[in-house]
Structures are given as C-alpha cells and as structure tokens.
Amino acid sequence: MKILRAILLDCGLTEELKWSLPCYTYQKRNIVMMTAFKDYCSLNFMKGSLLKDTHGILVMPGENTQVGRQIRFTNAQDIAMMEPILKEYILEAIEVEKSGVKPTVKKKPVPIPEELQEKLNDIPALKTAFEALTPGRQRAYILYFSAPKQAKTRESRIEKCIQKILDGKGLND
C-alpha cells in the first residue's frame, strides 16, 4: 500500500481521509480510493466505468456496481511492475474528472413486497407518508422489508416501521 500511495501522490493527487479510507482527489473531486482486504488491496476508481481499460485490469467490486471499478493486487511485485500502467489509468481518471463527463446510472426499480403494498392500500396516510419519503429512503425500506423469506417476518418488519414512515423518517434515521 506504501507503493500505491507513492504512485498516487506522484500523479498529483491530494490525499484525504474519507469514509475512514485514504481517498485521492483532484481539485477536491474524488478520483480513487485505496482499500485493504484480507486477500488483496485495491485501487477503487470512482468513475471507473468511464475508463478505457486498455489493459483489461479493471473489475467490478460487486455485482450491483454500476460506476466504480477496481484494480486488485496480491503482492508488492505486481504493483511495482504495473507502475506505468497504473499511472496511465490514474491520469486518465483525472482527465475524465476534468472533462465533467457523468456516468449513466440505470435506475433499477425495486419491486414493492406484497405485504407492504397491502398496508399502503389499507392505510392511506401510510401511502402518502411513504410516497413523501426520498427515493433512497423508500428503497431502503423496500429492501429491508423484502429481505426475509417468510411472509410473517416481512409483515413484522413493516409493522415495526409504520410509525417511522408516518413520521417521515428513513429506516436508519
């Protein structure tokens, strides 16, 4: 990670701590983050999907990731050998940020669980309050309510959250 840090700083990025991780910025705009895991460390490009990836080394960190991409490393020798390529990717990421290009994000509608839809139909005030929540808060509730396999558990979760929704609060507020 020391080698990665030196490469990032050599490319003219500013080092900051964000989300408890080293984040490297250009003119206060997030470009890349460095993370350490049990089996590897990585460079995580914020707008990695906009990079050309001429060397085919970028990977999606998760199955639902749309914009971010990462390069993974398992040893210091790989990092040292890849230094020119890494600098190429970092400089390209800076140019993408300078250009102001925004990645297109596909909004995937999350289906409302049947149990929640029934409650929204039965309690008009709940429906009004739910629709008044921000899309992110609605999504958080829908994902939380949809997670259990048993209908009984889904119903219980909904019941416990009704007052929070009526109060205009998000799941984690």
Domain containing 122 equals 114-166
Indicate if 88 and 9 belong to the same structural domain: yes
Tell me the pLDDT tens digit for each residue of 83-131.
Answer: 999 999 999 999 999 999 988 877 777 789 999 999 999 999 999 999 9
How many angstroms separate the CA atoms of 93 and 50, rounded? 8
Q: How many CA atoms lie within 13 A of 87 on its CB side?
A: 11
Indicate if 52 and 123 belong to the same structural domain: no
The two structure tokens encoding residue 157: 């979760």
Indicate if 60 and 29 belong to the same structural domain: yes
Residue 149 lies in a domain: yes
Q: b/e per residue, 134-147, with b = 16+ CB within 10 A?
A: eeebbbbbbebbbe
User: CA of 79: how far to CAs of 7, 72, 157, 159, in Å?
Assistant: 10, 9, 47, 52
Per-residue pLDDT of the chain (173 residues; tens, 9 = 90+): 999 999 999 999 999 999 899 999 999 999 999 999 999 999 999 999 999 999 999 999 887 788 999 999 999 999 999 999 999 999 999 999 999 998 887 777 778 999 999 999 999 999 999 999 998 899 889 999 999 999 999 999 999 999 999 999 999 88
Q: What is the CATH number of the domain that holds 35?
A: 3.90.1150.200
Indicate if 58 and 119 belong to the same structural domain: no
pLDDT for position 105: 78
User: CA of 38: how far to CAs of 3, 35, 63, 137, 171, in Å?
Assistant: 18, 10, 20, 32, 31
Indicate if 154 and 71 belong to the same structural domain: no
Quick check: 93 and 122 in contact, CB under 8 A? no
Q: How many CA atoms lie within 13 A of 110 on its CB side?
A: 16
CA torsion through residues 163, 169, 171, 173, sign = negative
The domain total for the chain is 2
User: Cα torsion at 16, 17, 21, 22 (round to 10°)?
Assistant: 20
Q: How many CA atoms lie within 13 A of 41 on its CB side?
A: 16
Judged by phi (left if over 0) then psi (alpha if -120 to 50, else beta), residue 12 lies in: left
Question: H-helix or E-strand containing 51?
Answer: none
pLDDT for position 32: 97
